[in-house]
Amino acid sequence: MTTTAPAMEGPSTDAAEASSGVAVLDRAFAILNAYGPTDERLTLTELSRRTGLYKSTVLRLLGALEHGGFIRKLSDGQYAIGHQPLRLATLYQRSFQVGPVVEPILQQLSRDLGETASLYVRQGDKRLVLYRVEPSRSVRVAIRVGEEFAIDKGASGKVLLAFTEASDPRWNEVREQLFAVSYGERDPETVSASVPVFDATGLIAGALTVSGPKGRFGDAATIETALKALLLSAKQATTALGGMAARYDASIARFDRDDATDRAG
Domain coordinates in residue numbering, the chain? 13-84, 96-264
* Least confident piece of the model among 27-36, 157-166, 256-265: 256-265
Tens digit of each residue's pLDDT (9 = 90 or more) over 172-184: 999 999 999 999 8
pLDDT over threshold 50, residue 13: no
Level-2 CATH architecture, domain 13-84 = Orthogonal Bundle (1.10)
pTM over 0.75, yes/no: no
pLDDT over threshold 50, residue 17: no
Could you tell me which of 204, 155, 206, 210 has the C-alpha nearest to residue 179?
155
Spatial CB neighbours of 227, under 8 Å, sequence gap ≥ 6? 179, 181, 193, 195, 255
CATH assignment of 96-264, given 3.40.640.10, 3.40.50.620, 3.30.450.40, 3.40.50.2300? 3.30.450.40
How sure is the predictor about 93, in pLDDT bands with cuts at 50, 70 and 90?
low
Query: What pLDDT does 97 receive?
Result: 72
- The DSSP result for the chain, as a single string, is ---PPPPPPPTTHHHHHHH-HHHHHHHHHHHHHT--TT-S-B-HHHHHHHHT--HHHHHHHHHHHHHTTSEEE-TTS-EEE-SHHHHHHHHHHHHTT-HHHHHHHHHHHHHHHSSEEEEEEEETTEEEEEEEE--S-SS-----TT-EEETTSSHHHHHHHHHH-TT-GGGHHHHHHT-EEEESSSSTTEEEEEEEEE-TTSSEEEEEEEEEEHHHH-SHHHHHHHHHHHHHHHHHHHHHTT--GGGGHHHHHHHHHHHHHHHH-
* Least confident piece of the model among 33-37, 53-57, 223-227, 235-239: 33-37
Distances (CA, A) of 126 to 35, 97, 153, 234: 17, 20, 10, 22
On average, the pLDDT of the chain sits at 86
**Contact assessment for residue 111 and residue 117, using Cβ atoms and an 8 Å cutoff:** no
Q: What's the whole-number mean pLDDT along residues 122-133?
A: 92
